[in-house]
Amino acid sequence: MTEHIVAFGSLDDQVRSRAEALLAGRGVLEIVSSATDASPDTLARATAIAGTLRPGQLTAAANTRWVHSWAAGANADLSEEMLASDVTLTSSTGNGGIPLAEHSMLLMLMLSRDVPRWQRAQAEHRWDRFTHGELNGRTVAIVGLGNAGADLAAKAKAFHMHVLGVRRRVERPVPGVDELFAPERLHEVLARADFVVVTAPLTADTKGLFDGAAFRAMPAHAYFICISRGGIADDAALLRALQEGWIAGAGLDAHGTEPLPPESPFWDLPNVVVTPHNGATTGATAARGGEIFLANLERFLDGAPLANIVDKAAGY
């Protein structure tokens, strides 16, 4: 059988050449600049698609058996059509775990040492020395222990932190996690944390998980950090928590609305570090994503089970 692989976006030259080598004699690779530019004929030819489909496109792609998302989180790919279909959906989960863990450490360090205060002093040419915090001996609660959360646990232990973890499968220990808790015990965990880092995917279970009650459960000296998906925190509750001092501050790489609107009050809060969902934007992330796609392409061509299959019911 000749396969017709359609990829949305620009592929790295090496990934493209390796994909074409895998397809030699077994299929063809067609690259389309974006999903918007994919014609009905192109979609009809596709037996597999790499990229996120727009509403209605999966119906047009009647011959497609496999869709691969370039993203680690599959929430944007889980349309009603996808949920109702027999098409296998895979993701690039694992491609950005390392830089997201690094970004989490960066935000914890910036908040602990009040780096924005130094930045303001530098801009004003002021010599501003003050007593700041350190991570040694502090407790971090990691909500979600996938690739990013697990790597963060190891990094936090290297900083001599006490690590609490929240995940659905508590029967499986995670290296670097000192204590593991089920989601039902979230508020109990939050009450013990100096830092709370959200690395979980956005699903029906996690949407709005951090509401007013969750932020009230955190100590007033604690910091909230989100590096996975906006929407896990209720923005109105988070804003109130920051403005009224329920918590000490926040490091936000993922936001409820993206791009974060210029008029958003989060930009100007002195106890918030805002980054533009940029924590995993590294060359190595892209390279790992290419490797995940190529490995699955080889499996697809060989009729072998695919890796990183998304559980459509669970959302990841």
What one-letter code names the amino acid at 55? Answer: P
Looking at the structure, tell me whether residues 22 and 121 fall in a common domain.
Answer: no
CB 10 within 8 A of CB 31: yes
Check whether 303 has a pLDDT greater than 80.
Answer: yes
**pLDDT digit string, tens, across residues 11-61:** 999 999 999 999 999 999 999 999 999 999 999 999 999 999 999 999 999
In a domain, 59, yes or no: yes
Is residue 204 packed enough to be buried (19+ CB in 10 Å), middle (13-18) or exposed (0-12)?
exposed
What one-letter code names the amino acid at 237? Answer: A
Catalytic site residue from 277, 291, 298, 299 = 277
Supply the pLDDT for residue 75: 87
Comparing CA positions, the residue from 95, 93, 133, 89 lying closest to residue 114 is 133
Q: How far apart are CA 70 and CA 173, in angstroms?
A: 29
Check whether 150 has a pLDDT greater than 80.
Answer: yes
DSSP E strands: which ranges in the chain? 3-8, 27-32, 48-50, 66-68, 88-90, 139-143, 162-166, 179-181, 195-198, 223-226, 249-252, 272-274
**pLDDT digit string, tens, across residues 114-127:** 999 999 999 999 99
Supply the pLDDT for residue 70: 96
Q: What is the CATH number for 82?
A: 3.40.50.720
CB 210 within 8 A of CB 233: yes
Instruction: Report the number of distinct structural domains present in the chain.
Output: 2
Comparing CA positions, the residue from 275, 307, 314 lying closest to residue 69 is 307
In a domain, 264, yes or no: yes
Looking at the structure, tell me whether residues 267 and 134 fall in a common domain.
Answer: yes
**pLDDT digit string, tens, across residues 252-285:** 999 999 999 999 999 999 999 999 999 999 999 9
The dihedral over CA atoms of 95, 105, 206, 278, expressed in degrees to the nearest 10, equals -50
Looking at the structure, tell me whether residues 236 and 186 fall in a common domain.
Answer: yes
Q: Is 59 helix (H, G, I), strand (E, B) or coil?
A: helix
Task: Kindly state the DSSP code that residue 74 receives in the 8-state scheme.
Answer: -
229 catalytic residue (yes or no): yes
Looking at the structure, tell me whether residues 228 and 138 fall in a common domain.
Answer: yes
Which domain range does residue 70 map to? 3-94+283-302
Looking at the structure, tell me whether residues 130 and 242 fall in a common domain.
Answer: yes
Looking at the structure, tell me whether residues 185 and 269 fall in a common domain.
Answer: yes
Comparing CA positions, the residue from 105, 99, 107 lying closest to residue 273 is 107
Q: Point out the least confidently predicted range of 3-7, 108-112, 168-172, 217-221.
A: 168-172
Looking at the structure, tell me whether residues 102 and 88 fall in a common domain.
Answer: no
Check whether 1 has a pLDDT greater than 80.
Answer: no
65 catalytic residue (yes or no): no
Catalytic site residue from 18, 138, 229, 288 = 229
Average of per-residue pLDDT values in the chain? 97
Check whether 10 has a pLDDT greater than 90.
Answer: no
**pLDDT digit string, tens, across residues 70-96:** 999 888 999 999 999 999 999 999 999
Burial 74-100, CB ≥16 within 10 A → b, else e: bbebbbebbeebebbbbbbbbbbbbbb
In a domain, 309, yes or no: no
Check whether 172 has a pLDDT greater than 90.
Answer: no
Looking at the structure, tell me whether residues 167 and 270 fall in a common domain.
Answer: yes
Looking at the structure, tell me whether residues 164 and 240 fall in a common domain.
Answer: yes
In a domain, 311, yes or no: no
Comparing CA positions, the residue from 30, 34, 79 lying closest to residue 59 is 79
Supply the pLDDT for residue 208: 98
Q: How far apart are CA 240 and CA 258, in angstroms?
A: 20
Supply the pLDDT for residue 244: 98
Looking at the structure, tell me whether residues 165 and 85 fall in a common domain.
Answer: no
45 catalytic residue (yes or no): no
